[in-house]
Amino acid sequence: MDDYIAQLKKAVIDYDMEGVSKLAQEALDHGMDPLQGIENGLAAGIREVGQRFGAGELFLPELVMAAETMRAGAAVLEPRVPKGSDTRTVHRVVLATVQDDIHEIGKNLVATMLTANGFDVVDLGVNQPSETILKKAQEVNAELVGVSALMTTSMPRMKEVISSAQAKGLCPKQKFIVGGAPVTEQYAKEIGSDGTAGDASGAVRLARQLVGAKE
Amino acid sequence: MSGISIRRPYPVLGNDDIDQIHAAAVRGLERIGVRIGTAQGRQILKRAGATVDERTQVVKFPSALVEEILRKPRAHVVLYGRDPSQDADLDLSHVHLCNDGTGPLTLDFETGERRPSTSTDLANSARVSNVLDNLHVFWPMVTAMDYPPESRIYADLKVSFMNTPKHILYASGASGDEARRLKAMGAAVAGGEKELRKRPIMSSVQTTIAPLQLDGGMMDAAFVFGEAGIPIAIFTMPTPGATGPVTLAGSVTVAAMEFLAGLTMTRLANPGCPVIWGCGVTPLDMKTTTRAGGSPEHGLTGVAITQLAHSFGVPSLVGGFDTTASVPGTQAVLEAFPQGLSVVLGGADLIVGLGLLEDAKTLALEQLFIHDEMVNMIRRLADGIVVNDETIAMDVIEKVGIGKTFLGQRHTMEHLHSEHFIPKLIDRRSFDLWSRDGRKSVEDRARDMVRAALAKPLSHPLDPKVVQELDAIVQGSMPVATA
C-alpha cells in the first residue's frame, strides 16, 4: 500500500496530470486508504513542489501542473473517503476582483498558489459587488477573503468591502486581504485590511499566518 | 560551451558597402602602403613582389598580391581550452564572449579602493569568469603589478593557466624573444610543442599602430606564434577623428589596410596559420580627450569589420560591452548595452570587453555578472521568435478555451525555458518584497554572486610539475638584482 502512496506522491512531483487518475483508481482497487493517499501521497507531493518553488528551483507552470495533478488525483480519491472519517482542517478562502474592475491575472495567480498550498479556494471572478462577496463568504464559511483591484479608480471598492464587513460585525473573525498593482502596505493598513503581499508567494505566507496554518 | 547563434543577423553594411571598402583598402595599400617595422617581414613581402623602401620602411602592396592571399583557402580558427568542453569554434556563424583584459587597476572587492592590480586580482577574475554562463575565452583581466615589468606578461599567463581551463587570449609578445618564452609556457601546459600545435590553448593579440604602421617587435612575435600554430589576432584600432578619418567608413578602411597588410605578411611567412581580425575602432571624445570605448560607434564599427572579415574568410575579434564609467552603475550599463547588442546581433565571432571599467583599465568583479546577465538578455533577442505549428500552439489554445489559464499546460512548461529569458540578477519582485529584503541594488546582488564564485573549488587544477616549469620560466624573466 505504501507503494501506491509513494507513487501518488511521485505523480504530483512528476506533474503526471494525464496518468494520475488511473493510478488513483488502481490504488483504490488494491485497497489503499483514500485519506492516506490524499494526505501522504498527493498532498505530500504538492508540499515538496511548493518548497522547491519557494526556493526558486521550480517555476510557476511546474507548480500549477503539480496542483492540477493533485486535483485530478483528489477527484478520484475524495468521494471514497468514508463520511465522518475526514478530520483534515480545510482553510477556505474567497477571492474576487472588486466591482468596476475586470483585471484578474494577479488574483488568479494567488488562487493558483493558494490551491497548490492546500487552501480551498472559491474564486468569484471579476466585477463583484461588495454584497455578493460578503454573502458568498458567509455561505461557504470562509476564514479569509481576498479582494483585488488594478485601477486606482476601483481601489475604493476594496475599502467598501472591508467597511461593510466591519459594519456587519464579520471582523475580526473573518480576515480580509487586499491586492493589486496600486496597493501598498500603507494603503492596506489605512483601509483596515489584515494585510497585502507583493506577489503570489507572499500572499500564501500571509494567508497561512492569518489562518494559523502550518507550513 | 557553445557560442550564440543569431537567427536573423543585423548587418550594418550592404554588399555594395563591403565591396567599396574592400576596393579602397586594396587600392590604398598599393598607392600609400604601410610602414612595416620588421626587417624579416619586409624581406618576405619584397620576395612576393611588394615595393619596399628600406629608408622609410614603407611597403606598397600590389593589389594582385593581396587578392591572391585572400583567394587562398581560409584557416579554420578554433580557440581550444585546456578543458575541451570549453573550446570556442570560430566558425563564422556563432558569437563568443571574452573578458576585457590587462587592466592596471582594480577596485578592491572588500574596500572599494582603486589601486594597482595584483596577481591575486587576476586569479580571482579567472575564478569568477569560470562560473559565468557566457564566457568562452579568458583574457587575463588585469596585469600583475606585484611583479616587475619584465616578468609581468609571463606571470599573467601563468596565473591565468592556473585558474581557468578556458582558452587564453593574450595581448602580449612585443618581440620574437618574448613570443618564444610565452610559447614555451603554452607548450609546458599543453604537454609539448606538438600538442600545442594540435590544440593551441592560447592565442595572441598583436596590435598595429594607426594610422598604417605595423610595429617590428609585434610582427616578429606574430611570426613566432604563427610558426607554432598559435592563432594570431591582428588588432587594428584607428581612432576616428585622431588616428583615422572622423568618418567611420574611413577609419574602417584604415583598419582594413592595416589588417590586410598584416594578413598578407603572416600568411606569406606561415601559410596555414590561423589569423583573426581584431578591432577596437571607437572615437576620440573631443571634449575630454579620452577614448570613447562605450560609444555606439564602437558597436557599429565592430559589426562592419565583422562583415568585412567574413568576406575575407577570417573571424573577427571586436570590442564590445565597454564603458568609460569610473564606477559600476547606470553609466556602465548605459554604454555597454547598445554597443554589446550591436556586435552580438552583428554576429561578431569573438567579443572582448566584459568586466572592466574606465575603458579597459579598472577591474570590478561584480561587472562580470552584470555583463553576463546582459549577454543572456541579448542572447534571447538574438534567438528571435520561432514560428511553426508547435509554437503557434493552436491545439493548446483550443484545449484551454475561452477565459482559462495556460499555466497548467505541459506546453507551457516545455517551452518556458527556451521562450522566456529568466533573470538571475535582475530583481522583478514587487517594491514591498524588495524593500523588506534589504533594498539591494543590482551591484549588491552581483557582489553576492562574486562571493559565491570565489568560494567554489577550482576545477581542472594544473599539475604541480607543470606549475614548477611555469615558475622557472617566470623566474628566468626576472631582472637580475644588482648589488
User: What average pLDDT does range B55-75 have in this prediction?
Assistant: 95
Q: Are residues B335 and B412 in the same domain?
A: no
Question: Which domain does B156 fall in, by range?
Answer: 4-13+71-383
Of B407, B410, B429, the CB nearest to A60: B407
Residue of chain B whose alpha carbon sits nearest to that of A184 = B432
Pairwise CB contact (< 8 Å): A59 & B409: no
Look at residue B483 in the predicted model and tell me its pLDDT.
43
Asked if residue B362 belongs to a domain, the reply is yes
Q: What is the pLDDT of residue B429?
A: 86
Q: Are residues B331 and B402 in the same domain?
A: no
Grid coordinates given for B100: 576585457
Residue (of B31, B29, B53) closest to B42 by Cα position: B53
Nearest CA in chain A to B435: A198
pLDDT at B394 over 60: yes
The confidence band for B436, taking pLDDT boundaries of 50, 70 and 90, is confident
Is the pLDDT confidence value at B402 over 70? yes
Residues of B in contact with A202 (CB under 8 A): 430, 432-433
Tell me whether residue B444 is in a domain.
no
**Inter-chain CB proximity B410 and A17 less than 8 Å:** yes
Distance of alpha carbon B230 from its chain centroid, rounded? 16
- Determine the residue among A13, A14, A16, A59 to mutate to test chain B binding: the one whose Cβ has the most chain B Cβ atoms within 10 Å: A59
Convert the pLDDT of each residue in B377-393 to its tens digit: 999 999 999 999 999 99
B77 found inside a domain: yes
| Residue A201 pLDDT grade (very low, low, confident, very high; cuts 50, 70, 90) | confident
Q: Percentage of chain A surpassing pLDDT 90? A: 64
The domain tally of chain B equals 2
B202 near B190, Cβ under 8 Å? no
Q: How confident is the model at residue A215 (pLDDT cuts 50, 70, 90)?
A: low
Q: Which of A80, A103, A138 is the last residue of a domain?
A: A80
Last residue of a domain, one of A22, A53, A80: A80
Say if residue B304 is in the same domain as residue B399: no
The answer to whether residue B86 scores a pLDDT higher than 90 is: yes
Q: To the nearest whole percent, how much of chain B has pLDDT over 90?
A: 92
Instruction: Compute the distance between CA of residue A124 and CA of residue A121 in angstroms, rounded to an integer.
Output: 10
8 Å CB contact of B432 and A17: no
Domain CATH number, residue B211: 3.20.20.480
Same domain? For B407 and B301 the reply is no
Chain A interface mutation, best of B399, B404, B407, highest count of A Cβ atoms under 10 Å: B407
Residue B229 has pLDDT above 60, yes or no: yes
Shared domain for A59 and A163, answered yes or no, is no
The model's confidence at residue B227, banded by pLDDT at 50, 70 and 90, is very high
Query: Binning pLDDT at 50, 70 and 90, where does residue B482 land?
Result: low
- Residue B433 has its nearest CB partner, among A15, A62, A198, at A198
Among B367, B383, B399, residue at a domain's last position: B383
Show which residues of A are catalytic.
Answer: 101, 103, 154
H or E element, residue A146: strand A144-148
Q: Quote the percentage of chain B above a pLDDT of 70.
A: 99
- Cβ distance A34 to A67 under 8 Å? no
Number of A/B CB contacts below 8 angstroms equals: 45
* pLDDT tops 90 at residue A181: no
Nearest C-alpha of chain B: how many angstroms from A15? 9
Examine the pLDDT at A29 and tell me if it is beyond 90: yes
β-sheet bridge partners, residue B242 = none
Q: Do A64 and B407 touch (CB under 8 A)?
A: yes
pLDDT digits (tens, 9 = 90+) for B278-329: 999 999 999 999 899 999 999 999 999 999 999 999 999 999 999 999 999 9
Condensed to tens digits (0 to 9), the pLDDT of residues B239-280 reads: 999 999 999 999 999 999 999 999 999 999 999 899 999 999
Q: How many domains does chain A have?
A: 2
Q: Which residue has the higher pLDDT, A46 or B52?
A: B52
Question: What are the backbone dihedrals phi and psi of residue B150, each rounded to the nearest 5 degrees, phi first?
Answer: -65, -30
Indicate if A9 and A55 belong to the same structural domain.
yes
A-chain CB neighbours of B405 within 8 Å are 64, 108, 112
The whole-model pTM stands at 0.90
pLDDT above 50: residue B67: yes
Question: Is the predicted pLDDT of residue A153 greater than 70, yes or no?
Answer: yes
Contact state of B409 with A61 under an 8 Å Cβ cutoff: yes
Residue B450 has pLDDT above 90, yes or no: yes
Q: Dig out the grid coordinates for A146 from the structure.
A: 481576498
Looking at residue A1, what is its pLDDT?
64
* Chain A residues with beta carbon closer than 8 angstroms to that of B416: 59, 61
Q: Is residue A85 part of a domain?
A: no
Q: Tell whether B340 and B245 lie within a shared domain.
A: yes
* Chain A residues within 8 angstroms (CB to CB) of chain B: 15, 17, 59-62, 64-65, 67-68, 108, 112, 184-185, 196-199, 202
- Reported as a single tens digit per residue, the pLDDT across A80-95 is 988 777 777 789 999 9
Domain boundary among A80, A100, A122: A80
- Min Cα–Cα distance to chain B from A68, Å: 7
Instruction: Kindly state whether residues B402 and B294 are assigned to the same domain.
Output: no
Give the pLDDT score at A94. Answer: 96
Residues B229 and B292 in one domain: yes
Q: Is the pLDDT of residue B226 over 80?
A: yes
| pLDDT for the residue numbered A214 | 63
Q: Cβ of A62 and B413 within 8 Å?
A: yes
Q: How far away is chain B from the Cα of A24, in angstroms, using its nearest Cα? A: 20
For the segment A35-58, what is each residue's pLDDT rounded down to a tens digit?
999 989 998 998 899 889 888 899
- What pLDDT is attached to residue B146? 96
Q: Rounded to a whole number, what is the distance in Å from the CA of A27 to chain B's nearest CA? A: 25
